[in-house]
Amino acid sequence: MKAKSPAKVARALRVHGEPFAGMLGRRAKSIFDLIHDEDFPKRAKTRVQFIADSLGGRPELAFRSSRDVCDRERKAQQRKTRHHILRREFYIVCSCRYKGPAKNDACPKCGAEIPVGALIGPF
């Protein structure tokens, strides 16, 4: 945060971020621009997320666009439900004169299986 130039950011990364210095050192100019951005957060936890989201799409995307993509994907993940289909049921009319729900994709009376083509019907 105290860095006054991209070179100082690169040095800080080498000294304090050794495992990531090689990967992030090439982006020292971008990081410098980010930490001096007017939208840069005040809290440490949100700073980390801000930098990660901003650099995620570089160099193809601008900082703002990269954050927008990350935000959109994060919201899409939250919208996904934790529920899933446990069982699918079909109401069948079989040639053995059985009418009712299928059991394990077959007629419970005679065991005739539902043909694969029958599963895809007109909509």
Higher pLDDT, 29 or 100: 100
Query: Average pLDDT over the chain, rounded to whole?
Result: 82
Query: pTM for the full model?
Result: 0.54
d(CA 7, CA 26): 10
Distances 44 to 16, 40, 51, 58, 69 between C-alpha atoms, Å: 16, 10, 11, 22, 22
Instruction: Decide if pLDDT at 118 tops 70.
Output: no
Q: What is the pLDDT of residue 123?
A: 44
Higher pLDDT, 22 or 102: 102
The number of residues in the chain equals 123
User: Tell me, what DSSP letter sits at residue 36?
Assistant: T
Q: What residues does each domain of the chain span?
A: 6-79, 85-118
